[in-house]
Structure formats: structure tokens, C-alpha cells
Amino acid sequence: MLQIRALAALAACCAAGVALAQQAPAEEPGWAKGRPKTDTAMKMAPVPAFPIPTAADQLPTKKFKLPPGFKVETWASGVLDAREIREGPKGTIVVSTLFVGNKVYAFPPGKREPKVIIDKMPMAAGIAFDSKGNLYVATNTKIYRYDNAEDKLDNLGEGKVIYDKLPGGNDHSWKFLRIKDDKLYFPIGAPCNICDPGQYAKIYRMNLDGTGVETLAQGVRNTVGFDFDPKTGDLWFTDNGRDWFSEELPNDELNHLDMKKLGQHFGYPYCHQGNIPDPEFGWGKSCDDYVKPAALLGPHAGSLGLKFYTGKMFPAKYQGAMFIAIHGPWNRTKKYNGVYVAWPDGKGGAKVEPFMTGFVENNNYLGRPVDFHVMKDGSLLVSDDHAGAIYRISYGGK
Amino acid sequence: MRSIGSATAASDAFAHRHRILAAAGALAALLLTGSAADAQSTGARSTSKAAAKTAAKASQPAGAASAGAAKAEYAQRFASLCAACHGANGRSDMPGTPALAGQHGFYAITQLFLFREGRRDNPAMTAVAKTLTDNDLRGFSDFIDTLPPVPPPAPPTPTDAARMARGQALAQQHKCLFCHGSDLAGGQQVPRIGGQREDYVRDALRGFKTGKRPGYTQAMTEAVSQVPLEDLDTLAYYAARFTPPAGK
């Protein structure tokens, strides 16, 4: 991982060299690389979350549509910039933030008021508990561990830095974390829309003390959601497709990583959605040389959180299914988003269906789903960073 | 994207659009010069603002009456709390004090938020913002969103054409127009900078470069990181004296 910084420095140095040689314009922002120079596209820049949570009585909760028998309620409001949701062994729900909040919140068991346990920490997006109740928090530069966090909600103290060699930066540098069998899984996203990513655009894992970093998958542009299939142990992950190719292409990908074949390449920046060679980086490459997506999730979908349903409350057809948060596009004229559900087909593919919709009204977002947590009673929590809320989905009917 | 308009009546939005066009220069002149693209883009921006407000109205059944009351309340509070420095119409002669006229509500609320959080360093604004509730942030920024642009007063010295040309080239080179638009009018979370006070823009750009001023996102910090200070000052000179294309 030390190499990442070296490579980043090298890349920066070379890029600067090229720019100087050409007397050329400064680099475009990473997100703008490949953007067409049309009036419509030029008005589309990444839109940050709103700085104020939607008031409880203005939340879109009543507008959501779900399959028969399911109901959704507001579990918590006033949770500015709510992103990842995790639960400690003692039942504390912890929620992270990304660009706006700079905070991590906790909801002690039975409580619905967010309690700020970490403040003034930019990009405190990646969170995970280990089996002992230690909380891991990853920014874009460091990973911290807070021992026995649930016992110290009033004064969490300084975390112990277990890893400080994340490359930082802006584009796709924030983290999504999972812990399984005492390994911490995290991505390093591409530092741009489309570029040669070097040691970026990979999924890694490490021991819980920050040692033993291994590469699990490469060619992954930006995953902000992954989980392990409880049946097979394989890793399923969402991946955000490149921008500015066209309104309708490429799709975001749902991918399946066979844990017996670590190190496979999923295509970025050479091939998108399994069958579109990149117009710049795809020359001389074949899409058949990369792992194909298990399913497509829609153009510029902003597919984020992914969680296998491991509860007992939902009907049998949802056992073994995974829920996927589609945050919704910023650089597509027509907006869409929602909570989707996907079923592995046993052959590496998956079937995907919308599950909860109603977040969009008059082409404006009323809410944008980010991540999930399966509660002990089998209900499903959904975070919404746009409205600053957490919803709870339960099943009661036939 | 969420509209932050709290149910401004469509007719207000239309009037606002009308004022924008009037302020930007005669609509007739636009058509006569055959600058269809400019006309279209100005129209599209205003229309989308109007559409967003209509949408907000539809999504908030509270009704036009209470929205009107809220607007009146924040108009009154703006007059008593903000106008002394920022001007009754959103533009003043006070050094370092930005014009709010023509500024976008989304941008305004992000800055009020940064002041309230203590992230953006300005004791006067933080003192004010600390007293504001979430509803206040929304109410003030919705009101600011309704203020039409006010052209800057004539500069004290003749405009240096060579420096303006240099500023225009720098704005192209450093991708300012990527987010602020070719009319420097911004939109949503991106501020209008055309016609903004030069001292304010200069301090803002220098602040982004030195890290003294945090943005709501990393965009400006990244954008100016490689730009020399003297070029930032030229950009401020250019933006402050910029005349929208439609006014030519």
C-alpha cells in the first residue's frame, strides 16, 4: 500500500509534466473528465447533500410504494447526511456521514435521537463493528479503531489509528467497510471519472490491526456497497459506471466476486457494463477478458449500499436476496432512484427488481437511499442522506 | 435535486425571471443579435428555477398562504438583520461584504450552514448564524433566492481591457465556467460570481487556496490549488467587472 502514494505522486508529477509541456489548461476536476461541452451537460456538476435534514412531518415516508404486505415508517429524522448504518453487539445503531455532516452518530438501544459520538471528522463515511464491539471508522486517509465503543458513547475518546496509508484525495476516496472473520474489507475508488487508475479502483482487505493488506478485486471504479452471500461466502458489490458516456449508458454494475478467485479484474477503465469498450481506454482491449457483471443497475444509477437479507420477518422469497440502494443520478437529465432487491441465480448472475420507490417527484429528489441494516426483529433500516432520515421497513401482511 | 423554495408562487417566479431578463439587458437586443443559444440558456435556467419552485409547491401542501406568510416574515427579518451590511436589495458598498442579490438559495443555505457550524470563519456571520434554527436557514435562503441580480456600480477606474482579456483566458484555463457557467451566474449550490464585489471574490479565492476558507464541498479548494495568487486576483478583477453575454 505504500506503493499507492508513490504511484499517486508519480501520476501527479507526470500529469503536471504533460500539462506544462503543452502550456495546456489545468486539469479538469476528476468528475468532469469526459464531460461533453454542451450547455445541458455543462450545468450538471455533482450536487452535495442538503445541509438541513427534512423536517419529520415533511419527509416523503408516506409517498413510498412497496410490495403488498410491507410497510415503511420513519425510524429517525434529523440525521443530517445519514450514510452507512451498522449495529454493535450490544444493540447500538451507528450511522456515518460523508461530505456535509463530518460526524458519526449513535442511537443507543431504544433511542431514536441521533447522538453525535464523533464530530469534525471530514469524510467519516466508512464504519464497521468487529465481533468484540470495537468500532472502526475510515475517512479517505485513515482507519481508526474505537475499543468497546458502545460503552463509551458519552466520550468515545481518540481512536487508535490502525492504518494511515489510504491515498486521500477527493473523487471516490471515501470508504465503505465490512468486517468478516476478523478481516476488514474496503475499496479504493478511481481518483477520477475515467483514467488509468494504477493502484486505485480495487477492493482490498486487511487484518484488524492494519497488517496484511491483500487485493481482492481490480478494475472496480467505485463501490460504495458490498456484502457477503451468507450461503456461499462470496462477495457481491455495486460499482458506479463511468460518467458522460451518454444519458443511457453505461449502466452501474452488480458484481459477484468468487472468493476462490481473488484478484480478478472487473473491467474499469477498459470495459463498461461487461460489453462496452471505453472509447479512449478500450482500444486493444476485449470485454471478454474481464469479469462480466451479474446484473445491470441502470444508467448513472449511483448504486450504493448492498445488504443480504438475513432476517426472518420478510416472506420466504426474500431470504437470500440482497437489497441495493440506488441513490439516483446527478448527471442524467431524468432522475430516478429507490431501493431495489436482487436474487443470485446460482450461476453468478442475478435478477433485479425495484422494491421501494417514490423518492422522486417532478424530477426532484425528495430522498436518496444510501445503506441498509437488518435489525434483530428482521425489519430493514434504510438511510437517506438527502432528507437526513432513517426509515424502517417491516412486513406484517399476507 | 431538492428545491429549497418553500412554495413561492409561480407568478413570483415568473416576475423574477422577467426581472432577470430585464437586468441582463433587453430581451429584444438578445433576439436581434440572433444569440439564440444565450437566449435559450438564460430561459432554460429561469424556467428550471420556476419549475423547481412549482414542484416545491406541489410537494408542500401547506399552501401558498403560509408560504406567503413565511416569505413576508423573512423579508422583514432580512430587512432588520441583514440589510444593514448587505443592503436592502442585497447589494451594498460595504467593503468585503458580498452581494446577495441574484444569489441562489441552495448556495446561500450552504454558507449559512458553514457559518453556523463554525467552519467558515467570519465572526460577524457566525454570531448571526448561531442564533438561527434550521427553519431560519431555509427561510433566509429562500428569501435571498428571490432577490434579483443588481448590477455593480461603475468601477472607480476605467476597466483595463488587457487585464479583462487575461482574466477571461484564466477563467477558461482553470475551468471556472465548468460550474459557474459561461454567464458566471452559477446555479443551485454554485454561486453567481459575475458582478460580485472584487475584494470579496479575491479574499474568497485566496482563502480557498490557503485553506482559510473551507467550501461546502472540495470543489473550490481543488480548483484553485495550482493557481498562482496573482492569477486569482486577476480572476477576481474579471469576475467583478464581468458583463453577461446577453448584455453585450
Q: How much is the ipTM here?
A: 0.71
Section A368-395 average pLDDT: 98
CA distance B176 to chain A (A): 10
Report the distance separating Cα A93 and Cα A130, nearest Å.
14
Name chain B contacts of A46, Cβ cutoff 8 Å.
217, 219
Residue B22 scores a pLDDT above 60: no
Closest residue in B to A331 (Cα–Cα) = B1
Residues B58, A361: C-beta atoms closer than 8 Å: yes
Residue B112 scores a pLDDT above 50: yes
Section A7-15 average pLDDT: 39
Which regions of A109-225 does DSSP assign to beta strands (E)?
115-118, 126-129, 135-138, 143-146, 160-163, 178-180, 183-188, 202-207, 214-218
Residues B188, A50: C-beta atoms closer than 8 Å: no
Alpha helix ranges (H) inside chain B: 10-24, 27-32, 36-59, 64-81, 83-86, 105-117, 123-129, 134-146, 161-173, 176-180, 198-210, 219-224, 229-241
Section A256-284 average pLDDT: 97
Q: How does pLDDT run across A149-178, given as a tens digit for each residue? A: 999 999 999 999 999 999 998 889 999 999
Q: Which three cell numbers stand for residue A119?
A: 464530530
Q: How many CB atoms lie within 10 A of CB A28?
A: 16
DSSP line for B17-52: HHHHHHHH--HHHHHHTT-HHHHHHHHHHHHHHHHH
Residues 106 through 165 of chain A touching chain B, CB cutoff 8 Å: none
Q: How does pLDDT run across A21-48, given as a tens digit for each residue? A: 333 344 566 767 777 666 555 556 677 7
What is the amino acid identity at position B64? A
Nearest by CB to B175, which of A29, A53, A364?
Answer: A29
Buried b (16+ CB within 10 A) or exposed e, B203-225: bbbbbbbeeebbbbbbbbbbbbe
Residue B27 scores a pLDDT above 60: no
Reduced to 3 states, what is the DSSP secondary structure of residue A212?
coil
Residues B2, A51: C-beta atoms closer than 8 Å: no
Residues A52, B223: C-beta atoms closer than 8 Å: no
CA distance A295 to chain B (A): 27
- A80 contact B CB<8A: no
Report the distance separating Cα A263 and Cα B57, nearest Å.
51
Nearest by CB to B173, which of A26, A39, A361?
Answer: A26
Q: Which residue has better confidence, B2 or B216?
A: B216
Name chain A contacts of B60, Cβ cutoff 8 Å.
58
Residue B33 scores a pLDDT above 80: no
Q: Which residue has better confidence, B14 or B200?
A: B200
Name chain A contacts of B186, Cβ cutoff 8 Å.
none
Angle at A227 between CA A226 and CA A228, to 5 degrees: 140
Report the distance separating Cα A397 and Cα A42, nearest Å.
48
CA distance B113 to chain A (A): 6
Nearest by CB to A362, which of B55, B138, B178?
Answer: B55
Residues A55, B134: C-beta atoms closer than 8 Å: yes
Residues B58, A362: C-beta atoms closer than 8 Å: yes
Please give the helix or strand (H or E) that residue A259 lies within, else none.
none
Section A194-212 average pLDDT: 96
The set of residues, in sequence order, having a beta carbon less than 8 Å from that of A136 and lying 6+ positions away, is A126, A127, A128, A129, A130, A143, A144, A145, A146, A162, A177, A179, A184, A208
Nearest by CB to A52, which of B55, B138, B187?
Answer: B138
The set of residues, in sequence order, having a beta carbon less than 8 Å from that of B15 and lying 6+ positions away, is none
The backbone torsions φ and ψ at residue A100, rounded to the nearest 5 degrees and listed phi first, read -100, -45
Residues A45, B179: C-beta atoms closer than 8 Å: yes
Are A328 and A336 within 8 A, CB to CB?
Answer: yes
Report the distance separating Cα A74 and Cα A84, nearest Å.
17
- Is the bond into B155 cis (omega within 30 degrees of 0)? no
- Select the residue from A364, A366, A385 to test the B interface by mutation, using most B Cβ atoms within 10 A: A364
Section B162-188 average pLDDT: 91
- Least confident range of A94-98, A346-350, B68-72: B68-72
- A57 contact B CB<8A: no
Residue A16 scores a pLDDT above 60: no
Residue B123 scores a pLDDT above 50: yes
